[in-house]
Amino acid sequence: MPERLAGMPLDLWTPLLVLWMALPPCAPAAPTGPAPVFLGGPPLDPSRLSDEQRVLNRSKRGWVWNQMFVLEEFSGPEPILVGRLHTDLDPGSKKIKYILSGDGAGTIFQINDITGDIHAIKRLDREEKAEYTLTAQAVDWETNKPLEPPSEFIIKVQDINDNAPEFLNGPYHATVPEMSILGTSVTNVTATDADDPVYGNSAKLVYSILEGQPYFSIEPETAIIKTALPNMDREAKEEYLVVIQAKDMGGHSGGLSGTTTLTVTLTDVNDNPPKFAQSLYHFSVPEDVVLGTAIGRVKANDQDIGENAQSSYDIIDGDGTALFEITSDAQAQDGIIRLRKPLDFETKKSYTLKVEAANVHVDPRFSSRGPFKDTATVKIVVEDADEPPVFSSPTYLLEVHENAALNSVIGQVTARDPDITSSPIRFSIDRHTDLERQFNINADDGKITLATPLDRELSVWHNITIIATEIRNHSQISRVPVAIKVLDVNDNAPEFASEYEAFLCENGKPGQVNISMLLMLNMFVYNCLIFD
């Protein structure tokens, strides 16, 4: 046996010896035959194993071996010796031939059919295939007849740290609310290492942050990212780039590493109150503006976004609370001031309002940063508009006797220009309402006179329309209805409706009443009273 060891190439035996010294104790795979044992009795110190002690021997007609191992990614000038098969039927006369079959037999693993030495002839990658199941058999060299039943064994590919950690799902994106407390969980990332997680530390990963401190921290083993600073403000900085490293070999020197990026976006919370862009707003509006017209807009800016920036507007004080209203424009986030009631420049020329903007959605967690509202003053100046004349009454009722003289004054209408400039007024009659031209009006003072005689028995009422026009602006006109009632006078004598005949009795006495004549006279008087 010493001669055989001396005959083996040193460069083949040295890696195997180093491997056995580095390997931790491990449970061997169960063979199909008797329980595996080391040749020569009790287990030996792996660092002191010799070539002969790696020989697989047969005892009591069964194959006896330990599990075989081969280092992955190992390459050298010669094939790597994995192990040796041997049976006690072999007296050394070279009459025994060893046959190897199964996974990779002949392509990856080669056996010396005389010595039973098994070599790996290709570089192996554990991440592609971790173990190989083969079958060994001893046959007669000359007849090829089996000397004993075949036995199955396993060659395991021993891992080395040849794979760096990878973040398969990166780059990552995560959000966390602004103003979060220290240690708030943001997200977690995961790296994978193709090396053997059971053997050694090749796949034991430790996580760290290369870039992104002091804002965030990471748990070294779980890769949970947390906030490392409290109360980060989105309005100051919204997005952070964090570079994360995963390093194998437990993070020790010499380990392989991989990196990924995590983009953390701070989401908004309502931590800012609305603030008017200016404390005083000035608007002007013509006095004749239509009700509901928008007079002006005020805006309170909010550094928050979305619903956290929504504000409602109200008029809380001022001398125009009854005339104006304010509504909120949800799209533009401003307040629109509108007119509710008519304005009159001649009555009041300006108004002052106090408006308030208040957040709709207030977060009680940040109430101490409040109040979440702001106020501003709005001054509204009413501009004079050229208004039409205004009559002293909305309607007029005049009375005139039917026997009134021509050109006599039967009444008067008055109107004024409400504007400060106070244009003179010119009066006229709408002749569409006085087709027979029975009335005239003085263009300067509005006195109505009789143009043609009246007859109550023909028409009791006359309805005309008077027009008032500004002399300085003929487009400014007003109209008012005037009703004229004709009063009766006794201008008609009684008349008999027909000629009457009277009959007297020949023997009538003086003073005797004729009944027929009395009835006819009474009838005549009655008719006169009714129709006159």
**Predicted pLDDT at 158:** 81
pLDDT > 90? residue 265: yes
More confident residue, 425 or 15: 425
Token pair recorded at residue 321: 């609370």
The helix or strand, by DSSP H or E, that contains position 355, with its residue range, turns out to be strand 350-359
Mean pLDDT for the stretch of residues 8-37? 36
Confidence of residue 91 (pLDDT cuts 50, 70, 90): low
**Predicted pLDDT at 512:** 65
Residues 6+ apart with CB under 8 A from 377: 279, 280, 281, 352, 353, 354, 355
Confidence of residue 142 (pLDDT cuts 50, 70, 90): confident
**Predicted pLDDT at 141:** 87
pLDDT > 70? residue 3: no
**Predicted pLDDT at 26:** 37
pLDDT > 70? residue 292: yes
**Predicted pLDDT at 507:** 74
408 Cα distance to chain centroid: 80
**Predicted pLDDT at 502:** 65
**Predicted pLDDT at 44:** 33
**Predicted pLDDT at 127:** 81
**Predicted pLDDT at 515:** 55
**Predicted pLDDT at 92:** 64
By the 10 Å C-beta count (0-12 exposed, 13-18 middle, 19+ buried), 306 is classed as: exposed
The CA distance from 100 to 381, in Å, is: 108
The CA distance from 469 to 520, in Å, is: 60
More confident residue, 87 or 375: 375
Model confidence over 299-350: pLDDT tens digits? 999 999 999 999 999 999 999 999 999 999 988 889 999 999 999 988 899 9
Among the listed ranges 32-46, 248-262, 297-311, 334-348, which one has the minimum average pLDDT value?
32-46
**Predicted pLDDT at 513:** 61
Vertex 10: Cα angle to 6 and 12 (nearest 5): 120
**Predicted pLDDT at 20:** 38
Q: Are 441 and 433 in contact (CB under 8 A)?
A: no
pLDDT > 50? residue 60: no
pLDDT > 70? residue 14: no
Q: Are 377 and 365 in contact (CB under 8 A)?
A: no
**Predicted pLDDT at 65:** 52
The CA distance from 283 to 353, in Å, is: 11
Of how many residues is the chain composed? Answer: 532
**Predicted pLDDT at 45:** 38
309 — phi, psi (to 5°)? Answer: -100, 0
More confident residue, 429 or 346: 429
pLDDT > 50? residue 220: yes
- pTM recorded for the entire structure: 0.58
Token pair recorded at residue 121: 């002839």
pLDDT > 90? residue 529: no
Among the listed ranges 272-286, 420-434, 482-496, which one has the minimum average pLDDT value?
482-496
Mean pLDDT taken over the chain: 82
Token pair recorded at residue 293: 């017209």
- In percent, the amount of the chain with pLDDT more than 70 equals 81
Model confidence over 153-176: pLDDT tens digits? 898 888 788 889 999 998 999 999
Top mean pLDDT of 89-93, 306-310, 328-332, 519-523 is at 306-310
CA 108, 111, 117, 121 torsion-angle sign:
negative
Confidence of residue 73 (pLDDT cuts 50, 70, 90): confident
Half-sphere exposure in the Cβ direction for 344 (13 Å, CA): 4
The CA distance from 120 to 74, in Å, is: 10
The CA distance from 384 to 108, in Å, is: 105
Q: Are 272 and 302 in contact (CB under 8 A)?
A: yes
C-alpha Rg value of the chain to the nearest Å: 60
**Predicted pLDDT at 420:** 78
Confidence of residue 503 (pLDDT cuts 50, 70, 90): low
Residues 6+ apart with CB under 8 A from 158: 19, 23, 69, 70, 71, 72, 126, 199
**Predicted pLDDT at 159:** 77
**Predicted pLDDT at 415:** 95
**Predicted pLDDT at 100:** 92
Mean pLDDT for the stretch of residues 411-435? 91
Q: What is the DSSP string of 269-321?
A: -S-S--EES-SEEEEEEETTPPTT-EEEEE-EE-SS-GGGG-EEEEEEEETTT
> What SS3 class is residue 209?
strand
Residues 6+ apart with CB under 8 A from 447: 409, 411, 412, 441
